[in-house]
Amino acid sequence: MKRTELFTRTEKSIGRDIVSKNAELLTRAGYVDQLMAGVYTYMPLGLRVLRNIENIVRRHMNELGSSEVLMPALHPKAIWETTGGWDNIDVLFKIKSRTNNEYALGQSEEEVVTPLVMNRAPSYKHLPVSVYQIHWKYRDELRAKSGIMRGREFFMKDMYSFHTSQEDFDRYYQLVKNDYLNIFAELGLTAKVTEASGGSFSEKVSYEFEVLTDAGEDVVYYCEACDFCVEDEIAKVKPGDDCPRCGKGVLKEAKSAEVGNVFDLGQKYGKDFDLGYIDEHGKKQFPIMGCYGIGISRVMGVIAEKYHDEKGLVWPESVAPYRYHIVMLPDEQNRAAAQKVYDALGADNCLWDDRDEVSAGERFADADLMGCPVQIVVSRKTLEEGSVEVVSRSGKFDKFMCKLDELNMIVERSQS
Amino acid sequence: MKRTELFTRTEKSIGRDIVSKNAELLTRAGYVDQLMAGVYTYMPLGLRVLRNIENIVRRHMNELGSSEVLMPALHPKAIWETTGGWDNIDVLFKIKSRTNNEYALGQSEEEVVTPLVMNRAPSYKHLPVSVYQIHWKYRDELRAKSGIMRGREFFMKDMYSFHTSQEDFDRYYQLVKNDYLNIFAELGLTAKVTEASGGSFSEKVSYEFEVLTDAGEDVVYYCEACDFCVEDEIAKVKPGDDCPRCGKGVLKEAKSAEVGNVFDLGQKYGKDFDLGYIDEHGKKQFPIMGCYGIGISRVMGVIAEKYHDEKGLVWPESVAPYRYHIVMLPDEQNRAAAQKVYDALGADNCLWDDRDEVSAGERFADADLMGCPVQIVVSRKTLEEGSVEVVSRSGKFDKFMCKLDELNMIVERSQS
């Protein structure tokens, strides 16, 4: 994409107070625009990042064998009354139509997915079933001060599984857990798994996937020697204790952000809707259900929190809006060379700063702020030697010169 | 995809009353599931159709040079008060939070996009700008009886353009009009363009893209000889009149469904928000705006209305969930051959009915109901000659036999 085709702009600073680093950087770099607290527009580059995260998550869910569906956000009141959520879930947005029908806005979809699946699974032979969706959700948050990490409107992958036994749920949970850790690793995040209370969803335990970051709203105690991690709220240990799992490490305290969760829902929803299946012995049973979330817009915020420096964003390659940022210094001759680079690397892989009348300093500052992994500097000085300069935004590789007739080298050397 | 991996099922008939053909067929074939009137879950195959339509529309918008963004569905009350929509638009869903903040659910996004763009376009040099999004929208409809053709929750592409003159808007409208007609043609629909009143949006004319179908809620008078078409509500002609455009044809009356629209918004929104730009003479001006919609979920419904027969759906190739449906008759030997076909054509192109214990008749009926364009029948009878039978769902080509070691022929011959 050419920069002149972007209607967005970058900003040196934000006029109003923005308390969270992710909102500040994403706004300054032109990735998002706040409409109100906890509600953001995703601008062209921000939307590319969001879609990259979405597509990584989708690929993993499909590999797990889960079926993608898309459930409504507008729910009839009746299904929320059936489960007790209408009166008990304080973040549920409620709507009254002009004909006095009442609706809820989806903040989780057990109320929709339970009838959807169980009406099609009359027998144990139809189970297990796993379905997921990637959709916008709504929460009536009292405070929404963590940028896109806590939205009143947020983008989420939620998967639901239905099993004939606790053992089968446990088996599936292990698959999902491994998959989640792989997903977060692919997104550049190291997630720790904690056990926590199930909140309003369940009397059973939940599992939370936490990324250590000062921007997080949770506090965990974790072992530096093994993968033990627990939320402070339910911890029977304290910082400084020996690790109860490995016995070798000492527990440390850290702030963390929840990027994923798993709820063992037990039989609650099948029982609430009186929707069961017939088992091998001809007897009606209720399914054991699991719910598995990944906050996609939140993950984008967490990545921004983890991957930035004083100059701006430093996107991991897996989610970067563009792999290459062509920093063309002002000069007509440079334009022809930049065009050559753009054509060689592909318009879908490059952000080309093709603006006139912008200083070199401003171009470099923008490239650093926007954070594409590889910067390609097109300047008269190096063109005299037939070359462009290739710079890693993260410092992953040493900068190098690349001849204009050997541009494939950029692709190869910047990956190593 | 293998049929046994689908948790959905087909139904011979629908128990409850469904007045619209699209809802009946899409429900019976397992493409959608109604949660309440005007609100549907998209099941795995239905979601594939919806995404196919979405991606065709997106490609055209990108080719037009419009920038994709994603604006929120949750809007603060203030922006709707600014434009008068809070009190005047009866289909606007309103929400009150637990702290008594009031929000609207987006049913169109002029209130969001005007500040979004104009805050970044201080000068005439920044215009024109065109942005679009593909997102869910909400309308408090009194009646929602047309299946997915009129949803309380619906999926839409909405584009907005900002210009310095009426001439520039007119120029852009012509581009979009041609593009829209190409999009609908690619989707298998012949759209007629009408002029109609601008509704609550605008005092100016709007342009509507109508597809003739008895399932539609509009009535148009159109000329069979040329492209003249007008909505009955604003028509100064009547059925039987000579065509006022070409003078050759006679006007006929037909029901039609609106699949796209264009509103000439004039300067309303710039003025409402007092957001203008500085022109060449240093004077503040308000932009001329256009709004361009395509109802993506509605288009899916219209396609279902236009493309079906007494046996079920007959998807156009451009939107079909899978190009090939492998109808495997029950026999162990057939399974190996079906696997070979599946591998050769690709899992992403095939729906393979790999179920055990289902009769041949049921398999054929399902394939006809689900409507994939090319059916590949794997039976013992033809396998004795080393062949499978290839059948066109639409009758586009005569059925033919294809040797198992020449499966590429299926791809070639079924396209011609």
Instruction: For chain B, give the percent of residues with pLDDT over 90.
Output: 88
- Tell me if B315 is assigned to some domain: no
More confident residue, B34 or B17: B34
Beta bridge partners of A264: A290
More confident residue, A269 or B413: A269
Q: Which residues of B touch A33 (CB under 8 A)?
A: 116
* C-beta separation of A32 from A43 below 8 A: yes
Residues B229 and B279 grouped into a single domain: yes
- Tell me if A314 is assigned to some domain: no
Residues B185 and B239 grouped into a single domain: yes
In this model, does residue B202 exceed pLDDT 60?
Answer: no
CA of A39: which chain B residue's CA is closest? B72
A239-263 mean pLDDT = 94
Residue A289 neighbours by CB under 8 Å, 6+ apart = A110, A114, A160, A161, A162, A163, A169, A265, A266, A267, A268, A269, A270
* C-beta separation of B372 from B323 below 8 A: yes
Range of the structural domain that residue A266 is part of: 3-309
- What are the tokens at A296? 């996609």
Residues B332 and B219 grouped into a single domain: no
Report yes or no: B247 at the A interface, CB cutoff 8 Å.
no
- Tell me if A336 is assigned to some domain: yes
Q: DSSP states of A372-385 as a string?
A: -SEEEEE-HHHHTT
Q: Which residues of B touch A71 (CB under 8 A)?
A: 35, 41
- Tell me if B135 is assigned to some domain: yes
The model carries a pTM of: 0.96
Residues A22 and A110 grouped into a single domain: yes
Residues B328 and B278 grouped into a single domain: no
H or E, element range at A10: none
- Tell me if B161 is assigned to some domain: yes
Residues B303 and B344 grouped into a single domain: no
Distance CA A79, CA A63 (A): 31
- How many angstroms separate the CA of residue A65 from the nearest CA in chain B? 8
More confident residue, A15 or B114: B114
State the virtual CA torsion across A55, A57, A60, A64 in degrees, nearest 10. -120
A229-258 mean pLDDT = 92
CATH number of the domain that A299 lies in? 3.30.930.10
H or E, element range at B177: helix B166-186
- What are the tokens at B180? 């829209």
Beta pairing class for B39-42 and B67-68: unpaired
Residues A353 and A208 grouped into a single domain: no
> Per residue in A344-386, pLDDT tens?
999 999 999 999 889 999 999 999 999 999 999 999 999 999 9
Determine whether the interchain pair A126/B7 forms a contact, defined as Cβ–Cβ distance below 8 Å. yes
Which of A285, A309, A333 marks a domain boundary? A309
Instruction: For chain A, give the percent of residues with pLDDT over 90.
Output: 88
Residues A204 and A338 grouped into a single domain: no
> Per residue in B330-388, pLDDT tens?
887 899 999 999 999 999 999 999 998 899 999 999 999 999 999 999 999 999 999 99
- Tell me if A317 is assigned to some domain: no
Residues A107 and A170 grouped into a single domain: yes
Number of domains in chain A: 2
- What are the tokens at B295? 């109802």
CA of B132: which chain A residue's CA is closest? A44
- Tell me if A315 is assigned to some domain: no
Residue A18: its pLDDT value, please?
66
Neighbours of B370 (CB within 10 A): 26
Chains A–B, number of C-beta pairs less than 8 Å apart: 113
Residues A358 and A297 grouped into a single domain: no
> Per residue in A54-109, pLDDT tens?
999 999 999 999 999 999 999 999 999 999 999 999 999 999 999 999 999 999 99
Residue B93: its pLDDT value, please?
97
* C-beta separation of B341 from B407 below 8 A: yes
Residue A256: its pLDDT value, please?
95
- What are the tokens at A412? 């190869």
Residue A267: its pLDDT value, please?
96
ipTM: 0.95
A165-183 mean pLDDT = 96
Residues A223 and A262 grouped into a single domain: yes
- Tell me if B291 is assigned to some domain: yes
Report yes or no: B39 at the A interface, CB cutoff 8 Å.
yes
CATH number of the domain that B344 lies in? 3.40.50.800
Determine whether the interchain pair A129/B99 forms a contact, defined as Cβ–Cβ distance below 8 Å. no
- What are the tokens at A363? 């171009």
Residues B238 and B365 grouped into a single domain: no
Residue B166: its pLDDT value, please?
95
Which of B264, B286, B309 marks a domain boundary? B309
CA of B73: which chain A residue's CA is closest? A153
Q: Which of B69, B136, B140 sits opposite A136 (nearest CB)?
A: B136
CA of B118: which chain A residue's CA is closest? A7
User: Residue holding tokens 């009547």?
Assistant: B238
User: Residue holding tokens 């890693």?
Assistant: A392
Which of A280, A309, A338 marks a domain boundary? A309
**CA atoms in the 13 A half-sphere facing the CB of A256:** 26
Beta bridge partners of A401: A389
Residue A415: its pLDDT value, please?
78
Residue B269 neighbours by CB under 8 Å, 6+ apart = B83, B110, B111, B114, B289
